């Protein structure tokens, strides 16, 4: 059973997961990711994954059969286990709980070689809708406080399978970075009585040097204090705390259009770089809070400069976000 352990000095929780050691990628003895025929995420290999939790099946084919355009399955090498109680306890000076949670894989396409940037807006919209459905389902489990949606694309970015997929992890705690944002947003709200994310959007539209693209419902920008070259955040223009409660009229169409645009720009300007994205949302059950605003962060993995950033929280970014924005806007796709 994996464990959640808390750093006693800075209140950071870590998953200590022995199961993960059995994954394909570990300690440099890398098994190359499986090729198309042997890939557990490919169409026709449904028996190589655990039973599906959700799928898009345009011809209403039965679960776990071959005709699908998107599937969500439990991770075969989960960081957390779905069964059991948290059993929170102190161990001397330290704090721990059982590593209870869910870890799911969103298989974004049945085709082995396809990437998100080669998909249609509709396909990507289906990916977001899958994130929503799974989040709403996991939210019902009262042991969980947060669902983290993220994607690792490319082996440099941490992907151990080539087949295009993203992941959801349901957690009994709120990740530290999200908590920090919530606390920062709350401090600003108490001072200004406004959402800091809404204020950032207004300021960026006014300045107009870091806005990469916008449409009716979403805006993409290079953050003023970008940690990484070509880092981009996508935010809903209207105030919304929860990713999963995004308004049904748009239904993630506009963020799909913008994400596709950005990934195609990355392909062109940065030569199809590895990247990570993650969705930050308010944790379950906090009501219609005014101080937090869900958004997506996208980080191309371009530099190797991140050597010590983990240990210091200090980032050095060689590309000013204004320059990154200009590059991206000037390049045609």
> Which of the residues are catalytic?
165
| Number of shown-chain residues binding a second copy (CB under 8 A) | 90
Q: Does 26 interact with a second copy (rule: CB under 8 A)?
A: yes
176-192 vs 196-207: helix axis angle to the nearest 10?
80
Q: Does 1 interact with a second copy (rule: CB under 8 A)?
A: no
Q: Does 175 interact with a second copy (rule: CB under 8 A)?
A: yes
Paired tokens of 296: 């997506």
CB of 34 to a second copy, least distance (A): 17
What is the C-alpha to C-alpha distance for residues 282 and 13, in angstroms, rounded to an integer?
18
Q: Is 8 helix (H, G, I), strand (E, B) or coil?
A: coil
x-marked contacts with a second copy along 290-309 as a string, rule CB under 8 A = -------x-x-xxxxxxxxx
Maximum Cα–Cα distance for the chain, whole Å?
Answer: 59
Q: Is 70 helix (H, G, I), strand (E, B) or coil?
A: strand
User: How far is the CA of 332 from the CAs of 6, 159, 260, 299, in angstroms?
Assistant: 47, 28, 14, 21
Q: Does 38 interact with a second copy (rule: CB under 8 A)?
A: no
**Stretch binding a second copy (CB under 8 A), from 105-113, 176-184, 213-221, 249-257:** 176-184
Q: Is 133 helix (H, G, I), strand (E, B) or coil?
A: helix
**Stretch binding a second copy (CB under 8 A), from 40-48, 68-76, 198-206, 246-254:** 198-206
What is the C-alpha to C-alpha distance for residues 269 and 324, in angstroms, rounded to an integer?
10
**Stretch binding a second copy (CB under 8 A), from 133-141, 194-202, 246-254, 282-290:** 194-202
Residue labelled with tokens 């107009």 = 208
CB of 67 to a second copy, least distance (A): 31
Q: Which positions from 70 through 99 interact with a second copy, judged by CB under 8 A?
A: 79, 92-94
Q: Which positions from 212 through 241 interact with a second copy, judged by CB under 8 A?
A: 223-229
């Amino acid at each position: 059973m994996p464990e959640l352990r808390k750093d006693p000095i800075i209140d950071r929780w870590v998953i200590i997961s022995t199961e993960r050691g059995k994954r394909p990628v570990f300690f440099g003895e890398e098994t190359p990711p499986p090729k198309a025929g042997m890939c557990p995420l490919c169409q026709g290999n449904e028996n190589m994954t655990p039973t599906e939790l959700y799928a898009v099946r345009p011809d209403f084919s039965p679960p776990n059969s071959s005709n699908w355009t998107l599937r969500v399955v439990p991770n075969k090498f989960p960081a957390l286990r779905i069964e059991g109680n948290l059993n929170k306890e102190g161990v001397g000076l330290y704090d721990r709980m059982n590593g209870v949670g869910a870890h799911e894989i969103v298989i974004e396409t049945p085709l082995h070689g396809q990437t998100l940037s080669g998909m249609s807006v509709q396909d990507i919209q289906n990916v977001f809708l899958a994130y929503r459905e799974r989040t709403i389902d996991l939210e019902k489990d009262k042991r969980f406080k947060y669902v983290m949606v993220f994607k690792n694309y490319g082996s440099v970015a941490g992907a151990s399978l080539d087949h295009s997929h993203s992941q959801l992890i349901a957690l009994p705690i709120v990740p530290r970075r999200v908590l920090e944002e919530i606390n920062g947003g709350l401090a600003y709200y108490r001072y200004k009585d406004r959402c800091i994310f809404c204020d950032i959007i207004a300021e960026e539209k006014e300045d107009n040097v870091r806005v990469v693209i916008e449409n009716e419902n979403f805006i993409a920008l290079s953050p003023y204090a970008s940690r990484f070259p070509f880092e981009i955040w996508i935010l809903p223009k209207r105030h919304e705390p929860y990713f999963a409660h995004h308004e049904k009229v748009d239904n993630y169409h506009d963020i799909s259009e913008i994400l596709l645009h950005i990934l195609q720009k990355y392909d062109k300007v940065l030569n199809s770089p590895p990247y990570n994205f993650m969705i930050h949302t308010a944790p379950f059950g906090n009501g219609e809070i005014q101080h937090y605003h869900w958004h997506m962060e996208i980080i191309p993995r371009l530099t190797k400069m991140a050597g010590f950033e983990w240990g210091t929280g200090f980032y050095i970014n060689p590309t000013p976000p204004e320059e990154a924005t200009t590059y991206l806007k000037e390049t045609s796709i």
